[in-house]
Amino acid sequence: MALTSLSADLVNSIDSKALVGIPGSLLLTSNPLYKDIAIISSGRMPPDLEKIISLKPDLIIGAIGFHDKSLLKLNKLGFKTLSTKIRNLKDLENLNDEINSLLLIKTKEPLSKKINNCYSYNLKRTNAKNVIALVSTKPILSPNSNSWSGNLIKRFGLKNLASELQSKSEFKGYVNLSQEWLLKAKPNNLIVVKTPRSNFSQYESLAIWNKIPAVKKNNIFSFDYYGLINPRSLDSINKACKKLSSI
C-alpha cells in the first residue's frame, strides 16, 4: 500500500498486482491503471486507518514528515511500514531497489529504465551555465542544494547561483531572495515554475524583471511544479529531466 503518489507509481512499475491502496491524488484517480485500487486518503487529510487495516496490506509506504503519526499507529498494530524521504535521484534509486527486494522481485528493473531522460544525458559540460530557479514571487523562493530540485539542477551540470545560500524560510531547501539580490546575481538563465495556483504572469510583475540578463536574452525556461519541485510521479520526473537537458 502506498500513501504517496510517487511510491504508488514505483510499486505499480515493479508489480502492478501488489498495490492494494493509493492516495486520492488526481494524478492516480484519473489514470485507468489505478481505477480498481482502493483510495485510502483525500486531499491533505490523513489516510483512513480503518480502511487501511481492512485491506490487510503486507507493507505500507509513507513519507517522512507527512505520515509519521499514521505509520507509527499502523506499526504498533503489527503492520510493516516504510518511511521515505526523496531528496535526490539516489534516494529514489534506493527506494526502487528496496521495494524490489521487499516484493521479492527476481527480475529487477533499474530506475534508469523508468526515467531514462534523467540518465541518458551527457552530464559533463565544458562551461557550466548559471541559472536561478524561481518557484514563487511572494516571497521570492528559490531552491538551494538541499532540495530535490536543487539536486536535479546540479545533476545536469548547471550552476545554481542560489545553491549555497542558507535557508531561512519555512520551506526547507528553499531560500528567500530579494529583488536586489536577484538583480545583483545576474543570472543568464532563469527557470520559472508554474505552481498549481499561479502562472507566468507572477514573475513578469517583479519590478526588476526586465533588467535581469536572462530576461533580456530571453533565456527563460518554464517548468511544471510536479517533477522539478515535487517529484510526484515517474513521468513528471522524466519530463523535468528532459527539459533540464535542453537548457
In a domain, residue 120? The reply is no
* Residues 92, 156 within the same domain: no
CATH number at residue 67: 3.40.50.1980
In a domain, residue 122? The reply is no
Question: What cell numbers appear for 56 in the block?
Answer: 490487510
In a domain, residue 123? The reply is no
* Residues 146, 87 within the same domain: no
Domains identified in the chain, total number: 2
pLDDT by residue for the chain (247 residues), tens digit each? Answer: 999 999 999 999 999 899 999 999 888 888 998 999 999 998 778 899 999 999 999 999 999 999 999 999 999 999 999 999 999 999 999 999 999 988 887 778 899 999 999 997 766 666 789 999 999 998 999 999 999 999 999 999 899 999 999 877 677 899 999 999 999 999 999 999 998 777 788 899 999 999 999 999 999 999 999 999 999 999 999 999 999 999 9
State the pLDDT at residue 125.
Answer: 64
* Residues 140, 110 within the same domain: no
* Residues 93, 16 within the same domain: yes
| Whole-Å CA distances, 119 to 52, 89, 114, 125, 166 | 36, 10, 10, 15, 29
Backbone torsions φ then ψ of 10, nearest 5 degrees: -65, -50
Domain encompassing residue 95: 5-114
Residue 196: exposure state from Cβ atoms within 10 A (0-12, 13-18, ≥19): exposed
Alpha helices in the chain (DSSP H): 5-14, 26-29, 49-55, 68-76, 89-102, 111-114, 148-155, 179-185, 201-204, 213-216, 225-228, 234-244
pTM of the model: 0.92
State the pLDDT at residue 169.
Answer: 65
> Of the candidates 63, 90, 114, which is a domain's last residue?
114
State the pLDDT at residue 195.
Answer: 83
State the pLDDT at residue 29.
Answer: 86
State the pLDDT at residue 96.
Answer: 94
* Residues 239, 141 within the same domain: yes
State the pLDDT at residue 45.
Answer: 83
Q: Are 93 and 111 in contact (CB under 8 A)?
A: yes
